[in-house]
Amino acid sequence: MIETPDSNISRRVLVVEKLCKQYRDRLAVDNISFDVRPHEIVGLLGPNGAGKTTTINMILGVLKPTAGSIQIENFDVARQRRRALASTNFAAVYAPLPGNLTVAQNLHYFGLIYDVRGLRERIEVLLEQFDLRRFRDTKCGLLSSGEQTRVTLAKAVLNQPQLLLLDEPTASLDPATAQDVRGMIRRIASEGSGGILWTSHNMYEVQEVCHRVLFLHRGKILLQGDPKTLPEEHGVATLDELFIRLAREPLRQPAEHA
């Protein structure tokens, strides 16, 4: 059972407004707007090429938007990038930590990068929280996929971010391990003071974890809402069916004027 964020909370940890990204003749992200609030897990869904990772990379400041704005904790990413990203962190299955460093070394060096105060104590807390104490001196390259994911999540919360970006965080995990990781992420959202933006192709996972979802198709947000009620609202039985329908449905083009 996931806790519902307090709808009366006016604070928004992430505000994306009219965001666009143009690659020559292709509009990868097309005028999208959304937000993420404290304790909220928002799912960013869509088929491959829908614009999910491009959107995350713009939020992280890796890509420069063609148009639009991104605010993290009221700091504009374009003009106040350092202050905005100080409140942000990231984890993805395709971004493993250096395999030649031990768990403790990875957390230490990333803690220095994020300028974490009381770093030694913070690392001890995270080793306990993510059940990593016995792997303290093990090189990350020798860990299983599930163990590596736990280390990556520990790194991602080192600086106690107000915005946590998760791009397919459980994609390589077996069902039991994925369930454990989802539980960890739910606790991060409920016990911390920030929010989470999560991409996934696993609709069961999305329905179990996310409070709200955004469906992207060809760079546009087609619909959004509660993943538990959206299927029925759109005349299908499951979120999987809704995902498939939206992935296959061409965008309606505006009528041309004579």
Say if residue 101 is in the same domain as residue 168: no
Query: What span, in angstroms and rounded, lies between the C-alpha atoms of 86 and 65?
Result: 20
- Enumerate residues 6+ apart whose C-beta is below 8 A from 134: none
| Alpha helix ranges (H) inside the chain | 52-59, 81-85, 103-113, 119-129, 145-156, 175-191, 203-209, 230-233, 239-248
Q: Which of 119, 141, 160 is the last residue of a domain?
A: 160
Query: What span, in angstroms and rounded, lies between the C-alpha atoms of 62 and 128?
Result: 32
Over residues 134-184, the pLDDT tens digits come to 999 999 999 999 999 999 999 999 999 999 999 988 888 889 988 998 999
Over residues 190-246, the pLDDT tens digits come to 998 999 999 988 899 999 999 999 999 999 999 999 999 999 999 999 999 999 888
Domain range for 62 is: 1-87+164-250
Say if residue 230 is in the same domain as residue 169: yes
CATH code, domain with 215: 3.40.50.300
What is the separation of C-alpha 118 from the centre of its chain, rounded to a whole number of angstroms? 26
